[in-house]
Amino acid sequence: MLIKLTGGKVIDPAHNVDGVARDIYIRDGRIVDAPEPGAKVDQEYDLRGKLVMAGAIDLHTHIGGGKVNIARAMLPEDHRPDLCAATDLERSGCGHAAPSTFTTGYRYAEMGYTAGFEPAMMPVNARQAHMEMGDTPIIDKGAYAMLGSDDLLLSLMKDGVDQRVINDYVAWTITHSQAMGLKVVNPGGISAFKFNQRKLDLDEQAPFYGVTPRQILKTLAQALHDLGVPHPLHVHGCNLGVPGNVQTTLDSFAALDGLPAHFTHIQFHSYGTEGDRKFSSGAAHIAEMVNKHKNISVDVGQILFGQTVTASGDNMSQHRNAAHADPSKSVIMDIECDAGCGVVPFRYRDTNFVNALQWCIGLETFLLVDDPWRVFLTTDHPNGAPFTSYPHLIRLLMDKSFRNEQLARINTDAAGLSTLGSLDREYSLYEIAIMTRAAPAKTLGLRDRGHLGVGAAADITVYTEDADREKMFAKPNYVFKDGTLVARDGRIVQVVWGNTHVVKPEYDPGIEKVIEPHFRRFRTQRMGNFKISNDEMCECGHGSKLHVHDCTHGRKQ
Amino acid sequence: MSALTFTARGMPAADIDCGGLTCDSLAGKSAAEVAKLPILVGGRQTPCGDVFDVSGSDTMQIVFRGNGATCNRIGAGMTIGSIRVEGDAGDHLGLQMKGGKITVTGNAGDFAACEMKRGRIVVQGNVGDSAGAPLPGNKKGMSGGMLVVHGNAGERLADQLRRGQILVAGNAGAYAASRMIAGTLVVLGTVGAHCGHAMRRGSLIVRQRPPLPATFADCGTHTLAFLPLLMASWKEAGAPFATLPVNPRAQRWMGDTGNGGKAEVLVWA
Ligand SMILES: [Zn+2]
Ligand SMILES: [Zn+2]
């Protein structure tokens, strides 16, 4: 079937196209060249006067895995006021901050998002995470496996093994947990928490293993680089949420010695200790370093005011936050040899000094980092705010007067300490398209997503331009997923099952001689049961396709 | 003007959600208009008139008549007016109620007065489990108003009660006053096992010594000046609460020492 999208103004930063009216042809889920004159067009959409972008990609959103399910189970009050009835098309669902899997897929698609990546998949929990994501309709999925506080890595590092052994272990883990990348969360800190430590600084030796977070960061970043995994190490650094952690973050940038890395939810890692309350914005320092160091990219993890739930592998910081839980309940868990997890419900208040300053710090970061290819639009869903608030966040970035109106409403001490009011920058649609489409596709190595060139997957979102950017981005006119019209004017019109993206870096199979005994001696699962096969992935994903991406990016030959 | 009356047509289908049929939401509507309103019956939108014969005109006085045991959420969120249930009421009677009065001549199901904030509920018969408790997973139960039960109460009566009074003339099941945060629970009959489990603050007032957990400490017999004042507030609840002998002497237990130990159990004759 040939579909023609006629005359829309195309914004496609991957091809330097900014608002040029042109036709797009779709056949078999792909964007194709214009057919011979006279070829039969089966379906035509008149998009004259409308804006056309690739489907948006969220590279950091907690949509699957144990902690999300804990959040769902723990927060019936999140579900009761937000019920979605079943329709002929949609399954019933519920949830605002921790929506059910089906609701997650529908709401992303309705907003013009066609892919979301779960950033903290514990390898031991990978099967559960993939089954949940398999039940998330329409959007493409993928996950980053989490290492860095696991017993085997730390033991190998303690024994001083060669980097190649670590590389094999990392590649093996990514391959058999069916991941798209690797995240490190509070390197060594989750393990240290289990030894009753409540803080682990960048150069502090982790208890028992004697390795430092700096060494862990460097080792894992090196591994991904050597393996040629497209997305560099996804770093959730030390001291999340601790005033003064901006220095830790800057030191962590430096610790990489120029190796590429992505620092996630950077807002939570940009706190200074100036002022009467010893809490201040470090966004300017962070942005300066990001601007200078092309090997670094960040996503913001913007907070927005209201009720949400924080879910993280960082049990050390979540244990600290549990005192501020609202409603007052939380779960802090140990996940056998792998890691930990903490789920703490939270309400960000604009009257609260700390929350208001966090809001400013996130926005300052967006506005001070020059290169939209290296700063991604996230709220660290649901940690800073639910993903459904993205249209509001886009308006804050694109509309200075709206931003300043909001700034006038927050805690005045926080507003007074922030430089936000003096920042005039307004993001353009082109820049928004970079940070939500082209750039995430590029960093993840999704060559056929995030752009509208011939050969690309037909993940396409069509908007009507509106000065109210929140309204505009909340309900696109059309959303196509792999060539199928799935949403119209913010309502689902067809349900498809998106693809799952993975990488399978090469490794020496001999590494199993190291891994297998570790499973046998210490873990509740045998190595054979840990491995998730390709067939299993497709079974649990309603027949969705598995896309394996190349690992040749910057590879050492 | 006669009361707006909902008379069940035959045996009602499972689960009738009566949450929308309150004085607040029906104000200004005629019986014919009300009969057209969609309500959830067995989870499906159904015109109210399909399950109830609707008559009368005074929307400030609502009457439910007939087999009401499957009529759930009667009076949910109401702020004004009165609802009279002639017969039984289902679950979640007076859920999150903020004012007005509900009277039930028969029994009420589980979670009566759940998260109630203000107003009064009187049940002539029994109430099921978790009267005055929060919805499952929530952290605060009833936080104001008064629930009067002339019959017996089921298990977990006043679980996580936050404020307000619950008066029970009959007996209470297991785990009465469990996790209570504040407020007052009065039981004139017997109280079941594990009463006061994880009780944090507030008062459980009984006439005979209940089977208290070992984590409650006997603090002796006292003359408590507030007891006659408290009992005076029961006058509006009528007999038997209004006609009890006024006695300021009570034996006091403090607990649950496993959870702060600031709650009291008063045994008074
Ligand atoms: Zn994180
Ligand atoms: Zn995250």
CB A153 within 8 A of CB A213: no
Question: Radius of gyration of chain B from Cα atoms?
Answer: 19
Expressed in angstroms and rounded, the spacing between residue A69 Cα and the centre of ligand 1 is 17
Q: Which residue has the higher pLDDT, A37 or A347?
A: A347
Place of tokens 């921790």: A98
pLDDT at B1: 81
Q: Which residue has the higher pLDDT, B246 or A56?
A: A56
pLDDT in tens, A497-524: 999 999 999 999 999 999 999 999 999 9
pLDDT at A553: 60
Tokens of A449: 């997503």
CB B12 within 8 A of CB B71: yes
B12 confidence band (pLDDT: 50, 70, 90): low
Q: State the nearest Cα–Cα gap between B178 and chain A, in angstroms.
A: 18
Asked if A329 and B135 come within 8 Å (Cβ–Cβ), the reply is no
Neighbouring C-alpha atoms within 13 Å toward the C-beta of A146:
31
Strands (E), A86-171: 93-94, 113-121, 140-147
Residues B236-256, mean pLDDT to the nearest whole number? 93
Q: Which ligand is nearest to the CA of A148?
A: 1
Cis, peptide link before residue A382, omega less than 30° from 0:
yes
Strands (E), chain B: 3-8, 16-17, 38-41, 44-47, 52-55, 58-65, 71-72, 82-86, 101-104, 120-123, 143-149, 163-168, 184-187, 203-206, 217-223, 249-255, 263-267
Enter the ipTM: 0.74
In 3D, which of A443, A447, A361, A432 has the Cα closest to residue A397?
A432
Asked if B138 and A75 come within 8 Å (Cβ–Cβ), the reply is no
Give the mutation candidate from B40, B46, B114, B139 for the A interface (greatest A CB count, under 10 A). B139
On the question of pLDDT at B149 being above 90, the answer is yes
Residues B42-62, mean pLDDT to the nearest whole number? 92
Any CB–CB contact under 8 A between B40 and chain A?
no
Q: What percent of chain A has pLDDT over 90?
A: 93
Domains and CATH numbers, chain A: 1-145+427-493 (2.30.40.10)
**A392 sits in which H/E element:** helix A390-398
The size of chain B, in residues, is 269
Residues B109-121, mean pLDDT to the nearest whole number? 98
Asked if B137 and A328 come within 8 Å (Cβ–Cβ), the reply is no
On the question of pLDDT at A62 being above 60, the answer is yes
- Taking CA atoms, what residue in B is nearest to A326? B139
Residues A364-370, mean pLDDT to the nearest whole number? 98
**CA B83 – CA B68 distance, rounded (Å):** 13
Strands (E), A465-536: 478-481, 484-488, 491-492, 500-503
State the sign of the Cα–Cα–Cα–Cα dihedral A122, A127, A129, A134: positive
Any CB–CB contact under 8 A between A87 and chain B?
no
Any CB–CB contact under 8 A between B139 and chain A?
yes
**CA A507 – CA A227 distance, rounded (Å):** 8
The SS3 of residue B65 is: strand
Expressed in angstroms and rounded, the spacing between residue A241 Cα and the centre of ligand 2 is 13
User: What residues of A are in contact with residue B136 (Cβ under 8 Å)?
Assistant: 76
Tokens of A541: 């994903």
The 10 Å CB-count burial string (b at 16+, else e) for A44-73 is: ebebeebbbbbbbbbbbbbbbbbbbbbbbe
Q: State the nearest Cα–Cα gap between B241 and chain A, in angstroms.
A: 36
Residues A293-316, mean pLDDT to the nearest whole number? 96
pLDDT at A556: 44
On the question of pLDDT at A330 being above 70, the answer is yes
Residues B229-251, mean pLDDT to the nearest whole number? 92
On the question of pLDDT at A441 being above 60, the answer is yes
Query: DSSP label at B136?
Result: T
Burial (CB < 10 A; 0-12, 13-18, 19+), residue B95, is: buried
pLDDT at A516: 98
Give the environment of ion ligand 2: residues with CB less than 5 A: A 380
- Taking CA atoms, what residue in A is nearest to B40? A85
Which range (A58-67, A329-338, A534-543, B30-39) has the least confidence? A534-543
Expressed in angstroms and rounded, the spacing between residue A60 Cα and the centre of ligand 2 is 6
Strands (E), A197-300: 233-236, 261-263, 271-272, 280-281, 296-299
Q: Which ligand is nearest to the CA of A269?
A: 1
Any CB–CB contact under 8 A between A394 and chain B?
no
Place of tokens 């964007």: A31
Q: What percent of chain B has pLDDT over 70?
A: 99
CB A365 within 8 A of CB A283: yes
On the question of pLDDT at A554 being above 70, the answer is no
Any CB–CB contact under 8 A between A68 and chain B?
no
Any CB–CB contact under 8 A between A77 and chain B?
yes
Give the mutation candidate from A70, A72, A79, A80 for the B interface (greatest B CB count, under 10 A). A80
Q: Which ligand is nearest to the CA of A186?
A: 1
pLDDT in tens, A240-286: 999 999 999 999 999 999 999 999 999 999 999 999 999 999 999 99
CB A300 within 8 A of CB A364: no
Asked if B135 and A80 come within 8 Å (Cβ–Cβ), the reply is yes
Q: What percent of chain A has pLDDT over 70?
A: 99
CB A507 within 8 A of CB A172: yes
Residues A57-67, mean pLDDT to the nearest whole number? 95
Q: State the CB neighbour count (10 A cutoff) for residue A473.
A: 24
Residues A478-496, mean pLDDT to the nearest whole number? 97
User: What residues of B are in contact with residue A77 (Cβ under 8 Å)?
Assistant: 135, 137-138
User: Both ends of chain A: CA-CA distance in Å?
Assistant: 43
In 3D, which of A151, A342, A378 has the Cα closest to residue A266?
A378
Q: State the nearest Cα–Cα gap between B179 and chain A, in angstroms.
A: 14
User: What residues of B are in contact with residue A76 (Cβ under 8 Å)?
Assistant: 135-138
In 3D, which of A300, A451, A285, A320 has the Cα closest to residue A389?
A300
Q: How far, in Å, are A292, A400, B123, B260 from residue B161 at the CA level?
A: 58, 47, 18, 16
Expressed in angstroms and rounded, the spacing between residue A137 Cα and the centre of ligand 1 is 24
CB A78 within 8 A of CB A97: yes
pLDDT at A300: 98
The SS3 of residue B84 is: strand
The SS3 of residue A327 is: coil
A132 confidence band (pLDDT: 50, 70, 90): very high
- Taking CA atoms, what residue in B is nearest to A87? B44
Cis, peptide link before residue B240, omega less than 30° from 0:
yes
Give the mutation candidate from A77, A326, A331 for the B interface (greatest B CB count, under 10 A). A77
User: What residues of A are in contact with residue B141 (Cβ under 8 Å)?
Assistant: none
Burial (CB < 10 A; 0-12, 13-18, 19+), residue B225, is: exposed
On the question of pLDDT at A555 being above 70, the answer is no
State the sign of the Cα–Cα–Cα–Cα dihedral A71, A72, A76, A78: positive
Expressed in angstroms and rounded, the spacing between residue A318 Cα and the centre of ligand 1 is 11
Residues A391-402, mean pLDDT to the nearest whole number? 98
DSSP string, B208-226: S-----TT-EEEEEEE-TH
Any CB–CB contact under 8 A between B135 and chain A?
yes
pLDDT in tens, B152-209: 999 999 999 999 999 999 999 999 999 999 999 999 999 999 999 999 999 999 999 9
**CA A316 – CA A302 distance, rounded (Å):** 21
Tokens of A228: 């040629």
Residues B224-238, mean pLDDT to the nearest whole number? 92
